[in-house]
């Protein structure tokens, strides 16, 4: 569970985004007439903030693909590669 604050926020945003899209998909499968978009329900009256949340979730996905390279995250990751190409044990 180690790592920096940024990586923790990224993980939280990815969980929020994943659960939101899962609920949207379930709503579509059950033919719900209203949207099950939780972000839209919570921030529906503030479309700019809703767009910012979606943008942050997208940035979080990109950061997850790239991986955090800060010292704290590298120390917390036991399977990360070190600069010499060897794995930490």
Report yes or no: 2 and 76 within 8 Å, Cβ to Cβ. yes
Could you give the CA distance from residue 84 to residue 19 in angstroms, rounded to a whole number? 38
Confidence (pLDDT) at 1: 57
- Give me the residues paired with residue 87 across strands: 81
Could you give the CA distance from residue 12 to residue 29 in angstroms, rounded to a whole number? 26
pLDDT one-digit tens code per residue, 27-80:
989 988 778 888 888 888 888 999 999 999 999 999 989 888 888 888 877 666
The residue ranges of every structural domain in the chain are 5-76
Read off the pTM.
0.72
Confidence (pLDDT) at 82: 52
- For the cut 60, the answer to whether the pLDDT of residue 83 exceeds it is no
């Amino acid at each position: 569970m180690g790592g920096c604050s940024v990586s923790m926020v990224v993980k939280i945003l990815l969980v929020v985004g994943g659960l939101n899209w899962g609920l949207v998909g379930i709503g579509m499968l059950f033919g719900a007439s209203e949207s099950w978009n939780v972000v839209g329900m919570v921030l529906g009256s503030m479309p700019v903030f809703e767009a910012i949340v979606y943008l942050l979730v997208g940035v979080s996905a990109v950061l997850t693909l790239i991986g955090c390279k800060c010292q704290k995250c590298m120390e917390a990751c036991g399977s990360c590669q070190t600069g010499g190409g060897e794995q930490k044990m």
